Amino acid sequence: MSADVLPPLHDLLATARVVALPLVTRFRGIDVREAVLLEGPEGWTEFAPFAEYPDEEAATWLAAAIDFGWRPVPAVRRDRIPVNATVPAVDADAVAAVLDRFPGCRTAKVKVAASDQTPAQDAARVRAVREAMGPEGRIRVDANGGWNVDQAEHAIHDLAPFDLEYVEQPCATVEELAEIRTRTKYMGIPIAADESVRRAEDPLAVAEAGAADLLVVKAAPLGGIRRALDLVGRAGLPIVVSSALDTSVGLAMGAHLAAAVPELEYDCGLGTASLLAGDVTRDPLRPVDGAIDVRRVDPDPALLDRYAADEDRTAWWLARLERCHAELARAAG
């Protein structure tokens, strides 16, 4: 990020509001999603790297927040974005209730390979989604890199009868993705890369290695809409725009990325406001008829107060914001 785009720290702190939003069901090992909301000249934006991420990685999320709040968004090509339902690692009998929160969605992404789940539980969950959505529904599964190559091969073989659209990040490394893609090619199920794009030193490495059939791109961990668009242009692979369990303010950034990409073949993972039990706006970006609007979101002051993080967590996030700002300043020279 160039120095002339990096606003002074006091400008960020002047509007910063730290929120803690409860989830409908446990997701990614958390029950509450924390985020910092900031108001820039272009509107509200969000800084919400997960708590375990180091400052160097989290600073990229701050660059994205600044890009969205302090610079005009690129031109959009569409004003509504079709989105998928997201099914956490719940028991099979809870699947229908989760899907009910995503009205009109024709696609579901199902979490698998959680450390506290068995392959049989994963299969039961995917089966329940297929039964709920019928034969025309699209099902993708996301392992978050939780399998080794042998486990992935067995799991994909076992889940193939449910007619998978693709398997997202079955293994952790680019080399493993390339191997599992080769091993399972006969099944005709595409392999998607997520963590190997957004958490990699070289986001293009997975494409250059022929390790994936499509990429999952997220604006915040890639440093903003413009950087993500550049990656999409250079990768030359189909993409899915997704989110990181954002508030509706953060989802607006993802929606603008999805609206700006030249081609949007797949439904996007931008419906996750439906996993929140509370949000910062009275008009959240939840799916309606299977899609969300492309628009900026203004938080409601009363909801910012209702979901304000406690004093300790607020101090923790503001200190993190300050450190990440310093990282960006150093990078800018």
CB atoms within 10 A of CB 71: 15
Rg, the chain, Cα only: 19
Query: Among 33, 101, 109, 111, which one carries the catalytic annotation?
Result: 111
- Token pair 């999320």 is found at 61
Q: Which two tokens stand for residue 176?
A: 């493993």
Q: Which residues are annotated as a binding site for Mg(2+)?
A: 142, 168, 194
Tell me the longest C-alpha to C-alpha distance in the chain.
56
Q: Which residues are annotated as a binding site?
A: 142, 168, 194
Among 122, 31, 37, residue whose Cα is nearest residue 298 = 37
Residues 305 and 119: beta-carbon distance below 8 Å = no
Instruction: Tell me if residue 218 is catalytic.
Output: yes
Instruction: Tell me if residue 109 is catalytic.
Output: no
Query: Among 109, 125, 218, 227, which one carries the catalytic annotation?
Result: 218
3-state secondary structure 64-77: HHHHHHHCCCCCCC
User: CA–CA separation, 303 vs 95, rounded Å?
Assistant: 29
- Token pair 């190559």 is found at 149
* Strands 17-27, 30-40: pairing kind: antiparallel
Beta strands in 60-158 (DSSP E): 80-82, 85-87, 107-111, 138-142
Q: Which two tokens stand for residue 332?
A: 């800018």
- DSSP class of 282: S
Q: What residues contact 107, with CB distance under 8 A and at least 6 apart? A: 82, 83, 84, 85, 137, 138, 139, 140, 165, 266, 267
Q: Which active-site residues does the annotation give?
A: 111, 218
